[in-house]
Chains A and B, each alone.
Chain A
Amino acid sequence: NAGVTQTPKFQVLKTGQSMTLQCAQDMNHNSMYWYRQDPGMGLRLIYYSASEGTTDKGEVPNGYNVSRLNKREFSLRLESAAPSQTSVYFCASSTQLMNTEAFFGQGTRLTVV
């Protein structure tokens, strides 16, 4: 019953450091997404992947890169972390273009100091 698994759950980075957030789903979903959640704001789409081998920018892609490694895995990379990237990050997946139920990971709380 894993669903969508994100790692790590918590991370503290220094400004300029890099890291990769990992996401894997075991539901054979085509579509995967990365969102960030900031206080007082709704979730905002960073990047998404409609199928294996494709990725597209969302609403707030600057400072991030993604890789759809295979159908199961979709990673988010911060090449040079900035304090503005302090946020809670959620990975999500769905069967088809978000017209079906979305499944979310537990979130990664990232602090950049």
Chain B
Amino acid sequence: KNEVEQSPQNLTAQEGEFITINCSYSVGISALHWLQQHPGGGIVSLFMLSSGKKKHGRLIATINIQEKHSSLHITASHPRDSAVYICAVRAQGGSEKLVFGKGTKLTVNP
């Protein structure tokens, strides 16, 4: 079992829909990252969370440490949100290692 599981693997939505992408992890963590990867490959950091909730524009990220679960929400989705969204966690204990989920491919149709 992977240490970081994302769901769904693929998601297709219509423009304007509310999107939720989930990330579950099995280890104690010091931080969780949400990343975005567009076609063409570049990876951009969206959020880094250790507790609670963060919001940036139409993007909201939440984390529940007790349940080892995080969600990324996109409100009023737009075709330009089409990308792969990647969850990554840094384990507790001073490890340098980030463990990545396999990503969720989001397609938003006009």
Residue ranges of A at the interface with B (Cβ–Cβ < 8 Å): 31, 33, 40-45, 48, 50, 56, 58-59, 88, 90, 92, 97-104, 106-107, 109
Contact = CB atoms under 8 A, between A and B. Distances in A.
Given A98-B31, A99-B30, A99-B90, A43 B45 contact: no
Given A99-B30, A100-B48, 8 more contacts: A42-B102, A43-B86, A43-B98, A45-B97, A90-B43, A101-B33, A101-B48, A104-B44
Contacts, number: 63
Interface residues of B, number: 25
Contact of A98 (B4, B43, B96, B102): B96
Nearest to B4: A42
Contacts of A33: 98
Contacts of A102: 33, 35, 45, 48, 98
**Listed residue (A50, A90, A98) with the most chain B CB atoms within 10 angstroms of its CB:** A98
A31 B48 CA distance: 16
Contact of B96 (A41, A43, A48, A106): A48
Specify the main secondary structure of chain A where it touches its partner. loop
A101 B86 CA distance: 14
B94 A97 contact: yes
B98 A88 contact: no
A99 B4 contact: no
